[in-house]
């Protein structure tokens, strides 16, 4: 009995080491794929910010690639990625925003200061849409193909090398398949 108890810490340590080693060998250890990849995009709350149209589900399956971005005015990384969203919109890519867990006045103030890259915005102050999409925290961005299926999920701000090496190739692949 004592020998079993004495060897227990060594066995636990070896098991934990094996678990870590296996985890480091994954293809992309930083990737958190969405359960919606290859499936129809979840519903979007249809509440609107004043003066900005709200998206409807048909906007996600209109035959063109759409970028859906979850953001909030109080989110510093959202502010950092805002120029990227404006550049995508300037390229002619449909960008739909989901403003989550925010106050209406703050969201409108942010867009007034920084510009509005969104074709349409869903106003989701209680986070219902966030839960439907499995979003943990803003910013999170999804690429939706022309059939309305989720093809990629990107967690975090779309800036720098992370945007260039991870998001942009997936967007280009979706655009080429259009």
- pLDDT tens for residues 53-111? 999 999 999 899 999 999 999 999 999 999 999 999 999 999 999 999 999 999 999 99
Write down the pTM of the prediction. 0.82
Domains and CATH numbers, the chain: 32-177 (3.40.30.10)
Averaged pLDDT, 33-60? 89
101/75 Cα distance (integer angstroms): 10
Task: Of 49, 56, 28, 47, give the one whose Cα is nearest residue 155.
Answer: 28
37/152 Cα distance (integer angstroms): 6
Confidence of residue 120 (pLDDT cuts 50, 70, 90): very high
Strand partners, 66: 94, 144
Averaged pLDDT, 128-157? 95
Q: Where are the alpha helices (DSSP H) in 49-167?
A: 76-90, 104-114, 128-133, 160-162
């Amino acid at each position: 009995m004592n020998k079993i108890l004495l060897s227990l810490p060594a066995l636990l340590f070896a098991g934990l080491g094996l678990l870590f080693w296996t985890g480091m060998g994954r293809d992309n250890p930083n990737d958190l794929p969405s359960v919606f990849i290859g499936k129809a995009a979840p519903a979007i709350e249809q509440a609107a910010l004043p003066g900005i149209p709200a998206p409807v589900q048909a906007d996600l399956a209109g035959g063109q690639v759409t970028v859906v971005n979850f953001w909030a005015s109080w989110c510093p990384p959202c502010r950092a990625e805002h120029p990227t969203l404006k550049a995508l919109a300037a390229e002619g890519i449909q960008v739909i925003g989901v403003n989550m867990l925010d106050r209406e006045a703050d969201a409108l103030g942010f867009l007034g200061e920084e510009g509005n890259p969104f074709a349409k915005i869903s106003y989701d102050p209680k986070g219902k849409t966030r839960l439907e999409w499995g979003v943990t925290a803003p910013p999170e961005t999804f690429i939706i193909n022309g059939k309305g299926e989720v093809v990629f999920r990107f967690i975090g701000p779309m800036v720098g090398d992370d945007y260039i090496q991870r998001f942009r190739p997936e967007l280009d692949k979706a655009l080429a398949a259009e």
